A and B are shown apart, each in its own frame.
Chain A
Amino acid sequence: MSEAVTPLNGADFEGLATIKDAGLSGMITLRGDLASKEVKAAVKKAVGLGIPLQRQALSGQGTAVLWMSPDELLLLCAYDEVAQKIAALEKALEGQHFLAVNVSDARTVLRISGTGARETLAKLCPVDLSPGAFTPGMVRRTRMAQIPAAFWLDDSGVFYLICFRSVADYAFGALKDAALPGGEVGVYG
């Protein structure tokens, strides 16, 4: 059986920020009534986490749950555990109206770290990325230059950015350009 490959194939760039292909990630779109006890229980069962608040992320051991919209979560897990997680969700939500679908290969995940991470993103996204405004645990779906993207900030100050797979090269190129040395804005430390 052939190996699965990410579109960026492990690319990385070191500049004002470090931009790195985060590798294969398991991603499941779960749509349903996020307020229901069934969904709550199903998410708990699948990834061991609760339902995050609006535009927040919760993360655990190799898993995370991102609030994407009032009826949509994105569940993250190991790439090869997706089928098993979806099966768990489907079992737990049997009889409910929901959708659990594997989107791992539809998207690519980039890791943006280092002191220039905020400024790098702020060059491309119309989002207030000042440390006071964008804090760990927040998720933001927005526009990055000319493509839709979502990113969240973990407790260690690392941004993870998700975009569609087909534009992985564009996303990496845009981030790399924004992180070129000499382009420090000097606003966000």
Chain B
Amino acid sequence: MLILTCPCCGVTGEETEFHQGGEAHLKRFGPGSSDDDFHTYMFAKENPKGAHFERWRHNNGCGKWFIMARDTVTLEVYGTYPAQTHEPPKNIRDAITAKRPGWTWRDFA
């Protein structure tokens, strides 16, 4: 069972306080978008072996959504950050690079 640190209220709590919400940094495609773009937005997920960015909500806590960079193999947590951003912060990308040089995740590296 993971422990997570909510970047919004500062609580470090166990997984049962939180709710996982799937892959992070999705770009929404609405009416007018191509079938391919919409399909990718809805269904094509990275699902990597290694560094991953995922959405979590502190649902039994402050109620805020945030993003966690986590290694799906080792369960190492590279960091958490608030959801109001389009890309992971540099310090977290650096932390991943230190453990997994040459990593990529969608457009990030």
Contacts and interface: CB of A to CB of B under 8 A. Distances in A.
Interface of A: 54-55, 68-70, 72, 126-127, 140-143, 148
A69 B9 contact: yes
B13 interface: yes
Given A69-B64, A126-B17, A143-B17, A148 B9 contact: no
Main secondary structure of the interface of B (DSSP, over half): loop
Given A55-B9, A69-B8, A70-B8, A141 B16 contact: no
B62 A69 contact: yes
Contact of A126 (B8, B10, B16, B64): B16
Nearest to A144: B60
B16 A68 contact: no
B22 interface: no
A141 B64 contact: no
Given A55-B9, A140-B11, A142-B13, A69 B63 contact: yes
A68 B62 CA distance: 6
B28 to A, nearest CB: 23
B48 interface: no
A142 to B, nearest CB: 6
A69 B10 CA distance: 10
Interface of B: 8-11, 13-14, 16-17, 59-64
Contacts of A72: 62-63
B11 A143 contact: no
A128 to B, nearest CB: 9
Contact of B60 (A68, A69, A70, A141): A141
A70 B17 contact: no
Contacts of A68: 62
Nearest to B7: A70
B62 A142 contact: no
Nearest to A148: B60
- Centre residue among A72, A126, A127, A148 by max chain B CB count within 10 A: A126
A140 B6 CA distance: 13
B10 A142 contact: no
A54 B9 contact: yes
A70 B13 contact: no
Contacts of B64: 69-70
Given A69-B62, A70-B62, 10 more contacts: A55-B11, A70-B8, A72-B63, A126-B13, A126-B16, A126-B17, A127-B13, A142-B60, A143-B17, A148-B60
Q: State the 8 A-B residue pairs at the shortest beta-carbon distance, nearest first.
A: A69-B62, A143-B60, A126-B14, A141-B61, A148-B60, A70-B8, A143-B17, A54-B10
